[in-house]
Amino acid sequence: MKDKWTKFCPKCGTQTDELFDSLCVDCFKREIKLIEPTVISVSICRTCGCYFKGNERTSIEAVVEATIRKEIGKKYGCDSEVEIKELKMEDTRAHAVLIAKAELRGVPLTENGDVEVVLKRESCERCNRIAGGYYVGIVQIRADDRIPTDDELAIAEKVAHSSLIEPEFISKEVLLKEGLDIYVSSMDCGRRISNAIVRRFGGSYSKSQKLYGRKDGRNVYRISFSVRMPGFRVGDVLEIGDKRISVEKMVEGRGIEGVDIDTDERVFLSKRETMKAKRV
């Protein structure tokens, strides 16, 4: 009985037991090129400096990895691993040094290579929207039967900013006689900010929406989040004009009954008057 036929690699003539695509393992490997030169481009925002592709925020590494894996998949029909070892940044381009790993016909392959990434300076969607004053909703911060204090509004503003999750933004803040309006880029962040302010101060919020117009055949709404910080409470001492009033009773919907601390006189403050009062 004869053993297997002796096989020779037709390319290099080496004797071998196993052929891969009719070649010895070394020639087979040599024929494969996982990393091909290819045009990769990533946009970089000239305003905020973020990297993006289309409307999606991304990173140079993520784009290079996805592109190379896709190319390998197209060419060899297999999955691969791509690791970026180094990224050299220049002005309008980046140079990525990488390693690609794949397995073909049971042969594990590792290849080092590098690719150029063209950086296109553009404006990202978020910055375009900020520049255009874009907003979806307004968080209206008020207090029941009183005007929120400057301190409260300063804290509320801080709470609002720290509630944002990328890529949300606040496009405008308007200080009003009765409180603060914060213009926000999404309904989710409007809700999150409202919740956070209520968690911080108590009170409550309600949501309402108004038809703003139509875009691409769909109704576009603007949402108002009406945040109400708690009003005065029994036991608070209020300053109104040159009087100091101790709050004795809240009269739902009408005002406050209290006592003038200096004269011991009983007084009634209407809602309009309590709006001018400050807690001391």
Binding site for Zn ion (CB under 5 A): 9, 11-12, 24, 27, 45, 47-48, 124, 127
Q: How far apart are CB 8 and Zn ion at their closest, in Å?
A: 9
User: Cβ closer to Zn ion: 21 or 178?
Assistant: 21
**240 contacts: CB under 8 Å, gap ≥ 6:** 269, 273, 274, 276, 277, 278
d(C-alpha 203, C-alpha 200), whole Å: 9
Q: How far apart are CB 166 and Zn ion at their closest, in Å?
A: 11
Residues in the chain: 280
User: Cβ closer to Zn ion: 123 or 246?
Assistant: 123
The shares of helix, strand and coil residues in the chain, as percent rounded to the nearest 5, are: 20, 45, 30
User: Cβ closer to Zn ion: 16 or 224?
Assistant: 16
User: Cβ closer to Zn ion: 48 or 196?
Assistant: 48
d(C-alpha 143, C-alpha 161), whole Å: 20
d(C-alpha 80, C-alpha 197), whole Å: 47
Tokens representing 176 are 């009003």
Q: How far apart are CB 39 and Zn ion at their closest, in Å?
A: 23
Cis peptide before 148 (omega within 30 of 0): no
User: Cβ closer to Zn ion: 52 or 232?
Assistant: 52
Q: How far apart are CB 64 and Zn ion at their closest, in Å?
A: 21
Residue 13: what residue type? G
Q: How far apart are CB 52 and Zn ion at their closest, in Å?
A: 8
